Amino acid sequence: MKLTIFGPTGLVGQQILAQAIAAGHDTTAVARDPAKLGAQVHSAPNVRVVTADLSHADPAPLKASVDGADAVLSAIGPRKKAEHGIVSKSARALAAAVESASVPRLLVVSGVGVSTVPTPGRPHPPEREPGAGLIMQYFATPVAKRVLGAHFIDVALMEDFMRGCDLDWTVMRVPYVMDRPPTGRYRTAYGHTLRAALRIAAADAAEFMLRLIDQPEASRKVVTVAY
């Protein structure tokens, strides 16, 4: 496939990029600081590197980076507190580029628990995500809200935007992401969360996201992956 990957220097994004390269996909990596991608990425024959900052995105290079792609995958997230807001802002910019270039699929990374966050589009969300158990409702989600704060709200706003757009999108929710070797064994849920969805290795999350590209059942759905 021909893939464009945004956020390729983060924990999940690095794994998406590495696995896409290993699988032989024709890959475009879009990063604010391409030097962080490493020499192996820059020397790979099936990789094109594009410099872009989605916090100040110019529509022209964004469209050029996704033009002709079979799918666009985004693992964008803030590196520091000052970058809170980048997730929802980048989703809008990517959606515009994907629509302009007629890209068939857009997949983005989200977080477990965000559907319980009030937003203008969902001012009265459920207190518990469908499918979540007591651990999620009374421990994991409240802790995530306290720790992530404004970022959690930003991700919820991104999901609101995705639900309202006309693209063929998939939102992949992940719990706490670990830098661990892949296991190849994880649970998934389509349209709801999982009981005790507490952690996932970045490598396993990336593997599942690449699988989602060709899954019709994931079209215009929120899916969850966790151990």
Q: If the chain, 227 residues long, is cut into consecutive pieces of 10 residues, what is the mean pLDDT of each piece? A: 96 97 96 90 92 79 93 86 81 95 97 87 81 71 72 91 96 96 96 89 98 97 96
How far apart, in Å, do the first and last CA atoms of the chain sit?
28
Helices (H), the chain: 11-22, 39-43, 59-66, 86-101, 134-135, 141-148, 150-164, 202-212
Upper half-sphere CA count for residue 116 (Cβ side, 13 Å): 20
What's the confidence (pLDDT) of residue 174?
95
What's the confidence (pLDDT) of residue 38?
87
CB atoms within 10 A of CB 101: 17
Closest Cα to residue 106, out of 198, 226, 221?
A: 221
Q: Is the pTM of this model over 0.75?
A: yes
Distance, CA of 118 to CA of 115 (rounded, Å): 8
